[in-house]
Amino acid sequence: MKRTEVIAKLRAKQDLKYRDFHSGLCPGTANILGVRVPDQRKIAMEVARGDYQEFLREARGEFYEELTIEGLVIATARMEFRERLRLLRGFVPKINNWATCDTVCASLWFRPDEYEEGWRFITSYRGSRREFGLRFMFVMMLDHFMRPEYVERVLQEVAAVRSESYYVKMAQAWLVAEVFIKFRELGLDFLRGDNMLPWTQNKAIQKIRESYRVSDADKELVKSFKKVRI
């Protein structure tokens, strides 16, 4: 499918009220048309089922939704796993907002024999200087590696990155909260240590305390791990 066709489909689904609402959720993100995610997914599915390579060659990321559809096509079109990783390697540096990052991460998937190579791929972003390269790594862990055989490695990666970038810290806090909920003892041990910046640790504790999946006793317990911000 040609890029011009994709843009025409997006414009046909434009909702100006939604554009104004979503722009407030993605501060600093330019050229938001105002197309809801389910409609973006439908368009991406059409592209992925056809000659998706034509669109990927032409895609410029001029619009927020165009960039997201590019990522969704890479995530869902039929191709060899290593080809998907190759295309992702080119796509991740283009990510410039949390919504595109998180939508694409949630749409990727791994076969059982692909997890280890997928882990090596996402952890290659550990040294990234780009906010959304790091967020991509942590959201991918949240979506796909909250598994017994990976959870300790996930926590090691959280501890290894002391970023002051807001969207990285939010992803780390979200991830640690989920670890606590699903692997309570590992989460407790992690919170007891000096593993995160104070802001990130406190935000993780806030998310734990807001969860309906955590007992009242544990919500009180984690308060003792709050850090004083210096």
Helix (H, G, I), strand (E, B) or coil at 29: coil
179, 186 in Cβ contact below 8 A? Answer: yes
CA 138/CA 43 separation, integer angstroms = 27
Q: What pLDDT does 27 receive?
A: 86
CA 134/CA 100 separation, integer angstroms = 14
Instruction: List the structure tokens of 141.
Output: 């862990």
Q: What pLDDT does 210 receive?
A: 96
Q: Which among 32, 12, 11 has a CA at the least distance from the CA of 22?
A: 32
Show pLDDT as tens, one digit a residue, over the chain (230 residues): 899 999 999 999 999 999 999 989 888 888 999 999 999 999 999 999 999 999 999 999 999 999 999 999 999 999 999 999 999 999 999 999 999 999 999 999 999 999 999 999 999 999 998 999 999 999 999 999 999 999 999 999 999 999 999 999 999 999 999 999 999 999 999 999 999 999 999 999 999 999 999 999 999 999 999 988 65
DSSP state of 51: -
How many CA atoms does the CB half-sphere of 201 hold within 13 Å?
21
Locate the domains of the chain by residue range. Answer: 1-96, 110-230
DSSP state of 114: G
Q: How far is CA 99 from the centre of its chain?
A: 8
Q: What pLDDT does 228 receive?
A: 80
